Structure 1
Amino acid sequence: MGSATTQALAATTAALDAASGVDLDVARELFAAARALGDSSQLSGALADSAAAPAARSSLVAAAFGGSVSAATVKLLTTVAEQRWSSASELVDGVEELAIRAAAIAEPNADVEDELFRFSRAIAGNSELELALGSRLGEASAKGVLVEKLIGGKTSPATTLIAASLVQQPRERRVRQLLSRATKLVADQRGRIVATVFTAVPLGAAQVDRLTASLSQRYGKNVSVNTVIEPSLVGGLRVQVADDVIDASVSARLADLRQRLAG
């Protein structure tokens, strides 16, 4: 990610936080805009062209989207167009990020992070489903409909919207990668970070609470804990927060012991 994009994302996120009336309709329109931009290199390239005046790029947003989306969505897309982006593809990613964050704002009480994580794990355990959603063949809209059939009514509307929208425009990204990014963005929007905890046996509620408190103190931020059962660990835990891995599993200690004995 280029430095220009980093600044652009900060500006667009701030605009979203300051916006009023952000609901699932706004999120849905932002996802549709991201798909339209992803499908049109000419349009996304024009909006990311730093040589063009910001006013000209804003006018292009009005011409392309003004008649089909709400005023709130147009305003957010105008903010996107006014920024400098490192590339057209990163501008598209930026609109998609806004859509995910908007969905998180629209349903503040829904456990979207956990629902996205569980759907990702379900995909990981079903190779046929992963192939169906990740294949380049087939209509993009049909993949969205499939996701809605699978999790619609079982997860919050925000989670269903995010997952069904992302699979329609993977842009060379694996489905689980898309869901993982969305989980982190939702957590970030809510002032949290995501910790994935691998354990040999399920953790009790009290254990999860203690672990959450400990990680929150360690990282100085509220932590959203997702657990993965991995019997090969034998016992103990392996915790991953972004690129940071804390491995306190029995299997890791045994591997360390074997290495020492071999040395």
Structure 2
Amino acid sequence: MCSFMPKNHCLPLRVWCICGSRRLSAFLVELGAPMMVASTATGMGADGIVRYGDAGERTVVAAGRFAFEEGDDGAQALLRLLPPLVHAPAGDAGNTPLAALLPLVGMETSTLAPGAGVAASSLANLVLVQILRAHMASTPQPPGWLGAMADAPIGRALSIMHGEVSRRWTVDDLARAVGMSRTAFSTRFRERVGLPPLDYLTRWRMTLAAAALRTGVDSLTAIAEKVGYGSDTAFSNAFRRERGISPGRFKARAASVGDALQNTSRRLVARTA
């Protein structure tokens, strides 16, 4: 077993990869029940790999997790749209890339080789992308923006907004960019995403702004410019409408929570030292 992206104080998204001569499957478990950690399992060798049995078909199970900060709004948006379990059999039609990845995951996690950790993490990212693609392809209409990304014109509009978030977009601009009339685009966008185009854009801008405020690196003016606002006042008003709190207070609160988590981590390390 390997932990692709371990992190304390996080929301886990667990990935299980089963690689055998007859079975190739990947599972995505969203906030699943606690599972036994490899380091506490019996049968672990000096190389950190847990082995059971010595006969029959050889199957490699690589398990890991993607970790997101508790306040990561983008991660929360993704997790809310996923079912408790996504099963993506690599043998299914359309899952050819996943079928090619899983044997590589098995190879990189079954032996200790130079650069194995980097290789495993990179493969894990690809596995996650392919599982999400498989889920989107097998679900008639996944909810929210996850399903909207599979809709060609609406997915294109979302990509455009995400790529140029600071641009002063209008509904007419977006409709022209995807080759639709204003009315047809607005109706279809709301049906797929659940929000009017500019309301979605504002929410996404505030999500990015909140992430920037949480890091505490950029000034309010710099953040306002990055998310498409010409003044601190306009940005602050939009942020307060969306979040119910001013950017300054949000930043101070995030810093306070971050300090508390760091202090807790230090105490835990001191106890185990």
Q: TM-score, normalised by structure 2?
A: 0.24
Asked which structure has the greater CA Rg, the reply is 2
Q: TM-score, normalised by structure 1?
A: 0.25
Considering fraction of residues, name the structure with more helix.
Answer: 1
